[in-house]
Amino acid sequence: MAIEIYLAVKARALKLKLLPAEAYEAMLRAPTFKECTELLSKYGYVIRDPSLEGVECAALEHMLSLVDKMIIGVDGPPGELLRAYSFGRVELELVRDALRSLAGGARYRPPRCSALATLKVGPRLLSTFKDLWSAVATLVELGYRTLGRAFEYYEEVGSVAVLEMGAEADYYARCWRLADSLLMSREVKRMVMLDSASRWLYWLAVLKFEGIGREILSTLSKCMMPGLPRHVVAYGVESPLEELSSVARAVHRELGEAFTRGFESGFLVLEAELLRALWLNATRILRLRPIDLSYALACVLALYFEAKNVYRVLSAKIAGIPEETVREALQLL
């Protein structure tokens, strides 16, 4: 990838304007959901439907439109990596939601959002599936091969988490293959590895807690973590649940600290702490501003976390969750 394109992507990324901390504070303190949506409109969010679904759509639309602007002119394998990492991440969210709905015996009802129509696996396709089997069969044909294996395991053990890990394994394996084939910088590969490792550690904890056997853990782990040495993957698969913090430390110090902080407080806190470690790594890259794709990937994560933050604040407003609880869950610069 020419240095000129790196610099062009970086220049556009530097112009990205994330929601400032004061905007989140204003939303948290706003007495009504409507006032929150009005505030978001002032920051460039186009909210056509002032409902929770409408806000989710606006957040995703805002994220994808900014990513589109950032990667204008980036073609070939580098463009594939950026699109796989960004658009693929949103696609993964939809796929996971669909798998959970179908596993529970309900049709998936995706957010009505025109921006998502460009996804390879988008709302229109996912809403057509009547059952889990037909959904998995189609997704396998579209590249979710590990999900196919995970579905076989799901039929044995009945754990939806196995399906979700299978879908995530396909996403991260795709990103890693692109980063590896491009001979990307060490920082780019490190970022993809830390991202996938944060999710791998989370799923290991969940599945070990559910009593899922080593064969399933080993197969899904190898697919999800091709960037980790095999002995580290085996270490994670073989370790008891109570010793996973040492596995996390073997992968990365910050992940180890995050795992230790979150493990005893339940899976929701564990997931949040692992995400926080990933976010801290991304903010470090945003401060250093390296001239390679790691900066663009960090920007993608920043936009993704903003979309999640916005949805978290607005859904909490509807549910009446205290602002202090929500504030602790936000990932902010």
Is 64:115 a contact under the CB 8 Å cutoff? yes
Helices (H), the chain: 3-14, 21-29, 33-42, 52-70, 76-103, 123-126, 132-141, 145-157, 160-181, 186-209, 214-224, 230-238, 244-251, 253-263, 267-288, 293-319, 323-329
pTM here is 0.90
Contacts of 72 (CB under 8 A, 6+ apart): 12
Residue for token digits 């692109």? 178
- C-alpha span between 248 and 100 (Å, rounded): 27
Is 19:43 a contact under the CB 8 Å cutoff? yes
- C-alpha span between 239 and 236 (Å, rounded): 5
pLDDT tens by residue, 115-164:
788 888 998 999 999 999 999 999 999 999 999 999 999 999 999 999 99
Radius of gyration of the chain (CA): 19
Does pLDDT of 1 surpass 80?
A: no
The pLDDT of residue 40 is: 87
The pLDDT of residue 240 is: 93
Among candidate residues 172, 175, 166, the one with its CA nearest the CA of residue 207? 166
List the structure tokens of 266: 């339940």
The pLDDT of residue 155 is: 95
Domain that holds residue 314: 3-329
List the structure tokens of 237: 């698969």
pLDDT tens by residue, 193-202:
999 999 999 9
Does pLDDT of 183 surpass 90?
A: no
Number of domains in the chain: 1
Measure Cα distances from 114 to 48, 105, 107, 109 in Å: 11, 26, 20, 15
Is 212:159 a contact under the CB 8 Å cutoff? yes
- C-alpha span between 196 and 87 (Å, rounded): 16
- C-alpha span between 115 and 102 (Å, rounded): 24
**Residue 114 DSSP symbol:** G
